Homo-oligomer: A and B are copies of this chain.
Amino acid sequence: MKYCHTCSNELSIKTPANDDRERFVCESCGEIHYQNPNIIVCSVPCYEDQVLLCKRSIEPRYGRWTLPGGFMENNETTYEGASRETLEEACARIRIHGLYTYYSLPYINQVHMFFRAILLDLNFSAGAESLEVELFREKDIPWDEIAFPAVSNTLKHYFNDLPRNIFPVHSADIILGKDKQRLIVPHDSAV
């Protein structure tokens, strides 16, 4: 970020009055350009004892399996965003049951929210960002080929909770350890 998007003046980095951290500030028009985390909204589309996964046709993690999801857009709710992403990536229609897991990823300024959902029909197919879309039972999940740690963690919770059919909200922080390894730090266990 180098220029003001309101007046095109070159930006400064300084701590505004009544603030406690540096921001991009325009000293010409006065605008402060805040930068804040983004929300990734995802679904866990369920059918009987199976979960729908998408094999990614885009980077990052081309060829790896993920739950459908993506950036929440302006003018939509979390449920609308997760449903839209599921339709786009898996051509699948869902009904959302509620938030199931969420993760803070401070090293990339994202919060990932996963919503448990039921598939409304089995007419799913690969959307533009997917190579394949497939239902998996627990024993068939390609654990070594999952795209993102939040997806693996959500799937583990899901198959752990499935026998009791009780799905409390689980949450964790995902941080970078040494060697940039991603570590999952669970919050105190859900009630």
Contact = CB atoms under 8 A, between A and B. Distances in A.
Interface stretch (A31-39, A42-50, A140-148): A31-39
Interface in A42-90: 71-80, 88
Most chain-B CB neighbours within 10 Å: which of A88, A98, A107? A98
Contacts of A72: 36-37, 111
A79 to B, nearest CB: 7
A191 interface: yes
Interface in A97-114: 97-99, 102, 104, 106-107, 109, 111
Main secondary structure of the interface of A (DSSP, over half): loop
A98 B39 contact: no
Interface string A7-18: 110110000001
B36 A99 contact: no
Contact of A6 (B1, B71, B173, B188): B1
B11 A3 contact: no
A2 to B, nearest CB: 6
A26 to B, nearest CB: 10
A120 interface: no
A5 interface: yes
A21 interface: yes
Contacts of A130: none
A166 interface: yes
A76 B3 CA distance: 25
Contacts of A1: 5-6
A78 B111 contact: yes
Nearest to A1: B5
Contacts of A5: 1-5, 11, 24, 33
Give me the 6 closest cross-chain CB pairs, A-B, nearest first: A77-B104, A3-B8, A74-B109, A8-B8, A1-B5, A77-B173
